[in-house]
Amino acid sequence: MVTAAREFRDVLKRTEFCAPRFPVLSNYTARPHDPAPDAVRTRLFFQLINPVNWVGCMQWAVENGVSSFLELGGGIGRGETPAEKRPNLQGILRKYCRGAGHEAEISAVINADDAHALKPG
């Protein structure tokens, strides 16, 4: 991943960033990105060569009142098609929210059928 991160760093240098209008969590720090473009570039670089702090991200979200979560893509299971997969993180997030006494709407979109089944609002 170090080689990929170095190549990605060059791409990041050429990429224009704007300050986010809402908090965007860094997988590296489990805190919102600093809005300064160079700070975002640095954290995106480091997230490629460090473990994802997924639990920390969920803790921050719950502690800061996030009540809707949407897991996109991936999935786990032996099947090779998205239809044969099940959500990877949805169960972990539900368990965490229950333990934290936090009510949340948690949905997963593993394939196009899941996306079409979601109801807006």
Residue 42, pLDDT score: 93
Element counts in the chain: helices (H) and strands (E): 5, 2
Residue 114 φ then ψ, to 5°: -65, -40
The pTM (predicted TM-score) of the whole model is: 0.74
- Average pLDDT (104-117) is 78
- Tens-digit pLDDT profile for residues 59-110: 999 999 999 988 887 677 777 666 677 777 888 888 888 888 989 888 878 7
Query: Is pLDDT larger for residue 1 or for residue 112?
Result: 1
| CA 26/CA 45 separation, integer angstroms | 11
121 pLDDT above the threshold of 60: no
For 33-71, write each residue's pLDDT tens digit. 998 999 999 999 999 999 999 889 989 999 999 999 888
Q: Tokens 């044969």, residue? A: 84
